């Protein structure tokens, strides 16, 4: 009987030890799960193949593996929409330029969407000491007019918000942007002619202290409005052109995601109508119901925003 009791006690202890070791083994298996950094998530998600190439090209893989960051991450569709068709297109850009672009997408702290206050254009400093403008409203969250399409992807060292467009850090003021855009040469001629009698035109476009938004008619828009050549603009009344140009300028930074249906007051102290029910359409008081469509939105300048439109806005007579 004593031998039976001994073996029973021995077997009981053996089972208990086995269970403890098994439990400990399971715990160690859980502890061995590799942490998922921002860099790891981007590298493993096939929707970020172009961003992956950009991060590698710029030498920023470790930057996104350490620290505590928020990344507004363009997916492949966003890169393509911004003119980068594939990984080869982004790696053809100098590495320093790509690094500047990527740093403009990174905030050096963790910011969940719920950490953002309601309102337009909350300023956030980027990793490269640039300034971005974050909006949270009834339509969701956007940054510099790029919409967050997937928010709050959690990583061990931060959070990812997927956006629908690549953010470009501004390097030119409004005047310089017009000078370097071949589709805005008629606008530039009109502004130069208008400034001969109204210096406020150039002040608005080249200011270093005030921000403005320009709804900029394309060259074809000026042609359709009765200015077939640059020479015809240079021969037009400066006062008339000044009134037209200032009617396209709105004080402050107004991204497409800041717009709502209704009237907007311009720098000419006259309103035009905005309709965002199907894209963004602008109608001047003198346009007789013929709306201009925004064909390219949210072009960042150091002192404001440019939206290219396909019709010249006319103030009321």
The 10s digit of each residue's pLDDT in 109-121 is 999 999 999 999 9
pLDDT at 304 over 90: yes
Whole-structure pTM value: 0.86
Q: How far apart are CA 68 and CA 282, in angstroms?
A: 42
Architecture of the 174-309 domain: Roll (2.30)
Q: How far apart are CA 1 and CA 106, in angstroms?
A: 75
Least-confidence region, from 194-208, 209-223, 289-303: 194-208
- Provide the pairing of β-strand 212-217 with 158-163: unpaired
- Provide the pairing of β-strand 69-74 with 106-107: antiparallel
Fold assignment, 38-163? FAS1 domain (2.30.180)
**Is residue 38 within 8 Å of residue 63, measured between CB atoms?**
no
Q: Buried b vs exposed e over 13-29: b needs ≥16 C-beta within 10 Å?
A: eeeeeeeeeeeeeeeee
* CA 92 to centroid of chain Cα atoms: 22
Token pair 């004593």 in the structure block, residue: 2
* Domain 38-163 shares a fold with domain 174-309: yes
What number of CA atoms fall less than 13 Å from residue 312's CA on the CB side?
Answer: 22
**Mean of the per-residue pLDDT values of the chain:** 90
**Is residue 291 within 8 Å of residue 281, measured between CB atoms?**
yes
**Is residue 73 within 8 Å of residue 95, measured between CB atoms?**
no
Hey, which residues does 143 pair with through a beta bridge? 134, 146
What ranges do the domains of the chain cover? 38-163, 174-309
Q: What whole-number percentage of the chain has pLDDT above 70? A: 89
């Amino acid at each position: 009987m004593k031998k039976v009791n001994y073996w029973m006690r021995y077997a009981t202890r053996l089972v208990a030890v086995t269970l403890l070791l098994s439990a400990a083994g399971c715990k160690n298996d859980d502890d061995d799960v590799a942490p998922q950094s921002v860099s790891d998530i981007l590298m493993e998600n096939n929707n970020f193949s172009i961003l992956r190439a950009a991060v590698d090209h710029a030498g920023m893989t470790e930057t996104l593996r350490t620290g505590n960051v928020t990344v507004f991450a363009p997916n492949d569709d966003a890169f393509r929409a911004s003119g980068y068709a594939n990984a080869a297109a982004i790696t053809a850009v100098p590495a320093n330029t790509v690094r500047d672009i990527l740093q403009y997408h990174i905030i050096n702290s963790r910011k969940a969407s719920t950490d953002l206050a309601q309102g337009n254009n909350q300023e956030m400093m980027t990793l490269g000491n640039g300034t971005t403008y974050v909006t949270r409203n009834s339509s969701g969250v956007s940054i510099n007019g790029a919409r967050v399409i997937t928010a709050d992807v959690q990583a061990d060292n931060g959070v990812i918000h997927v956006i629908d467009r690549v953010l470009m850090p501004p390097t030119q003021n409004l005047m310089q942007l017009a000078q370097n855009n071949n589709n805005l040469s008629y606008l530039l001629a009109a502004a130069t002619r208008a400034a001969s009698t109204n210096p406020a035109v150039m002040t608005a476009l080249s200011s270093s202290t005030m921000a403005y938004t320009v709804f900029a008619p394309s060259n074809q828009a000026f042609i359709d409005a009765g200015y077939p050549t640059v020479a015809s603009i240079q021969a037009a009344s400066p006062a008339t052109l000044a009134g037209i140009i200032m009617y396209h300028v709105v004080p402050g930074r107004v991204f497409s995601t800041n717009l709502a249906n209704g009237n907007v007051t311009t720098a000419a102290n006259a309103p035009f109508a905005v309709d965002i029910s199907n894209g963004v359409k602008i109608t001047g008081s003198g346009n007789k119901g013929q709306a201009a469509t925004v064909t390219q939105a949210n072009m960042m300048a150091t002192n404001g925003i440019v939206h290219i439109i396909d019709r010249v806005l006319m103030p009321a007579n």
